[in-house]
Chain A
């Protein structure tokens, strides 16, 4: 059974000038343990798709099943706890809380699950060790490099042990070497711990590491073949 299943999903944006169709009765199945890149040019709707999978946005029509649960029918009041338990997010701009240490940032999602503070901090330390930042646990985000901040964000995404991690342009704000380190870390987490990763990206580096690549074409979602994937990744 697919971990993520989109069926007949449509989403459009209406403005005064025109109606822009992002997804048009799109279908997609992503299995558990996938390492999938959604690619396409800027403004093609990659982030919109990711936001809908992550229950941050709702489709105009269609169903989205996550672990068999139709999230399009969930009331707003339940979406927060759904996201907290099932989804981890990694953002392009990291979105760490600058007033908290790395450990406190990582521990914060557990607060919403009412995990006691001591336990939260212990788990957060573990996750920071996992992403190679044990030495920097007590540093503020302002004292970390871009790559280290993104690692903290990955540790935060992992802390509730979600089924899926959604990463929106995770390497866009990083230099090439740091981007490589970050994508290698994600690959390791995928291979060793079976965490499902889905990226919205137009970075060939990320695409070259993906097991599957999905492209958005006129509102439809299409898996690329191996040769198309090589072609897409050839710009690394």
Chain B
């Protein structure tokens, strides 16, 4: 087998210019595939971290049956023993922050107009890690000790024509069904990253939210980890620890709550599959053309090899190895090209991208190359090259020996 591979590799280099062009086209296809994969990877990671750090945390803890009863009977599925719960959570290594929230919807305004608001009550002292991805457009974010202050989304501010320092009144229904209202002064206008969310976003100290709903409880406890990858092994441990408490809880992790993230992943993966198909077809045509030319040009040699005893299987293998060799060289070239491209993009500080759908901010895109992405782009190139060699190899092995020998070397 080694000798056949050796012969195939020498044959590949015979027509150096043609082989180089084919190898280059595979390399470009492979690099394009790896780069697109790396771009998607970067986008996924960016979106994932944005989703986790602005809204969901890595994991949320609710009172038992929260998801069953939170609309019909919200008061029955709140967390009343928050301190015990947070004490347990703070003992775990790998948890960077624990926060609690209480949310409600209401209608609010500054006097001139009233709009729907999605109010989130937070403890500013515990929310610092969550504000990393919140961009303050004007004013400031909430600080520990704030009581009747709040920040609102930029789109909401524009809708209300509200300015810093103005007072907003929010009306809602308390847990026992009474109409209630609270007031807060705008200290900051922020962007969350999502235009839709910005239209309704209101953040106030949790004490104000509790006052609006007339409760001392919280709705959920949010856990932020040091590393997203730790979630898989930490979640079961946390659940085991929670089971020891008197109050009963249920948990959800971020991807169970992030419908938008799943939709984006699904869309991009679909695009990636289509792109992979296109690249594979281009590679296959390129290699098939080269291999067909090689088979045609070396007809005399093929006939001679068959005459001196080469079985058909050997001829098939000889040309398949050539396709494989071209694929490996092209794939390896593609990996080098992709890494170089990624390095250049790092050097120039990324590619400026417009805001994604429903997002308010553009971003700098980078290529997040991983061994998995490079390996799959390489493998796709090699497999496509190999597959496109099958027919030329088969045709060479079936060539009539007498006719083949009439072709001069």
Residues of B within 8 A of A98 (CB): 14, 409
* Contact residue among B14, B300, B304 (Cβ-Cβ distance under 8 Å from A89): B304
Closest residue on chain B to residue A54 by CB atoms: B307
- CB of A157, distance to nearest CB on chain B (Å): 8
- Cross-chain contact A99 with B402 (CB below 8 angstroms): no
* B94 on the A face (CB < 8 A): no
Known contacts A57-B402, A111-B3; decide if A95 and B311 are in contact (CB<8 Å): no
> How far is the CB of B301 from the nearest CB of chain A, in Å?
6
Do A100 and B314 have beta carbons less than 8 Å apart?
Answer: no
| Interface size class, chain B | 20 to 34
Q: A51 near B7 (CB under 8 angstroms)?
A: no
Chain A residues touching B, range: 20 to 34
The reply to whether B309 and A83 form a contact with Cβ atoms under 8 Å apart is yes
The listed residue (A56, A96, A117) touching B307 by CB distance below 8 A is: A56
* B308 in contact with A94 (CB, 8 Å): no
Chain B interface mostly: helix
Contacting residues of chain A (91-121) with chain B, CB-CB under 8 angstroms: 91, 93-100, 108-109, 111-113, 117
Q: Is the CB of B3 within 8 A of A94?
A: no
Separation in Å of the B311 CB from the closest CB of chain A?
Answer: 4
- Could you say which of A91, A97, A109, A117 contacts B7, with CB atoms under 8 Å apart? A97
Given the known interface contacts A56-B402, A57-B402, A89-B304, the answer about A95 and B309 at a Cβ–Cβ threshold of 8 Å is no
Across the interface, do B11 and A83 meet the contact criterion of CB distance under 8 Å? no
Any A CB within 8 A of the CB of B303: yes
User: Cβ of A81 < 8 Å from any Cβ of B?
Assistant: yes
- Given the known inter-chain contacts A99-B10, A100-B10, A117-B3, please indicate yes or no for A112 contacting B409, CB distance below 8 A: no
Any A CB within 8 A of the CB of B100: no
Residue A151 is within 8 A (CB to CB) of chain B in the complex: no
> Are A93 and B408 in contact, with the CB atoms below 8 A?
yes
Tell me the complex Cα distance, A80–B311, Å: 6
Q: Mark B301-327, 1 if CB is under 8 A from A, else 0.
A: 101111111111010000000000000
CA distance A115 to B226 in the complex (A): 62
The answer to whether B14 touches A81, judged by C-beta atoms less than 8 angstroms apart, is: no
B402 near A51: Cβ-Cβ < 8 Å: yes
Show 28 A/B contacts (Cβ-Cβ < 8 Å), sorted by A: A54-B307, A57-B401, A77-B311, A80-B310, A80-B312, A81-B309, A81-B311, A84-B308, A85-B309, A88-B308, A89-B308, A91-B307, A93-B408, A93-B409, A95-B300, A95-B303, A95-B304, A95-B307, A95-B405, A96-B304, A99-B11, A99-B13, A99-B14, A109-B309, A111-B3, A111-B4, A112-B314, A117-B3
Given contacts A56-B307, A95-B300, A98-B409, 8 further A-B contacts (CB under 8 A): A57-B402, A80-B312, A93-B409, A95-B307, A95-B405, A99-B10, A100-B10, A111-B4
Q: Which B residues lie at the A interface, using CB under 8 A?
A: 2-4, 7, 10-11, 13-14, 300-301, 303-312, 314, 401-402, 405, 408-409
